[in-house]
Amino acid sequence: MNSLALIVGLGNPGPEYRNTRHNAGFLLAELLSQRWETSWRQEKKFFAEIAECRFAGRRVVLCRPQTFMNISGKAVGPVSSFYKIPPEQVLVLVDDADLPLGTLRLRPEGSPGGHHGLESVEQSLGTRAYPRLKVGIARPQQSRRDIAGHVLGEFSSSEQPVWQQVLSRAAQQVECWVTDGIGVAMNRFNGSVAPDSNESTNAKRNTK
């Protein structure tokens, strides 16, 4: 396993977007920085915020692109190139409106699925073969197509308990990826977080 890992949280910069559903990747990256007791610094040459630390003996670089979601690759490409991190060690944290709220889905590769942030990362890395952890934010019940207002809105008070649990669970999954690799992290954590439990339910696990 490569000793250096890059973990990228996707989102939009600015206080108006801070707690929105579309910023799930940013929020997860922030939680990881707190758990690992590291701080962020602005790196204008990378168009990103960077935090560096060691976790379980591995050197980890956290990244939050400051380019806005749709051109996230403008930051991811230069950061991964500078640190000489191969795509298989670049873990992207991202929201997914096609997954129910509270669902985690880690994959070693895949298509962007219409997510413009992932499309930009794919273009910058020149491959789809990079791991991504998708955090379900669900689609609004009243509309299956126009979801801009939904993803750019904040979690409701009824959603907050599940969201806080899945955020914690996602952080544990990232830590497992760092220490034990993607196979173990997928098998142990992929699935849904029950609203009344801190444990993941395995009934809906999907690790294909």
Mean local confidence (pLDDT), 20-31: 97
Other C-beta atoms lying within 10 Å of the C-beta of residue 174: 26
- Average pLDDT score, the chain: 90
200: Cβ contacts below 8 Å, ≥ 6 apart = 104, 169, 189, 191, 192, 193, 194
Q: List the catalytic residue out of 22, 115, 116, 150.
A: 22
- Sign of the alpha-carbon dihedral angle for 196, 200, 205, 207: positive
Instruction: Give the whole-angstrom CA distance, residue 41 versus residue 7.
Output: 15
Q: Which of 93-107, 118-132, 154-168, 190-204 has the lowest mean pLDDT?
A: 190-204
Helix axes 160-180, 182-189, angle to 10 degrees: 150
Task: Please report which confidence band the pLDDT of residue 200 belongs to, taking 50, 70 and 90 as the band edges.
Answer: very low
Among residues 73, 82, 77, 153, which one has the least CA distance to residue 115? Answer: 73
Task: Please report which confidence band the pLDDT of residue 199 belongs to, taking 50, 70 and 90 as the band edges.
Answer: very low
Q: Which of 78-92, 103-117, 144-158, 171-185 has the lowest mean pLDDT?
A: 144-158
| pLDDT of 202 above 50 | no
Query: CA of 136: how far to CAs of 39, 75, 126, 155, 205, in Å?
Result: 27, 24, 26, 12, 13
Residue in the block written with tokens 């991190």: 85
Residue 146 has a pLDDT of 58
Residue 160 has a pLDDT of 94
Mean local confidence (pLDDT), 125-145: 85
> Could you read off the pLDDT of 103-112 as tens digits, one per residue?
999 999 999 9
- The CA-based angle 152-204-122, given to 5 degrees, is 50
Long-range pairs of 197-202 with CB within 8 A, sequence gap ≥ 24: 197/165, 198/165, 198/168, 198/169, 200/104, 200/169
Residue 14 has a pLDDT of 95
Residue 153 has a pLDDT of 87
Instruction: Give the whole-angstrom CA distance, residue 8 versus residue 155.
Output: 22
> Could you read off the pLDDT of 72-92 as tens digits, one per residue?
999 999 999 999 999 999 999
Other C-beta atoms lying within 10 Å of the C-beta of residue 95: 25
Clarify whether 22 is annotated catalytic: yes
Instruction: Give the whole-angstrom CA distance, residue 86 versus residue 5.
Output: 9
Domains belonging to the chain, first-starting first, are 4-144+153-201 (3.40.50.1470)
Residue 2 has a pLDDT of 63
| pLDDT of 208 above 50 | no
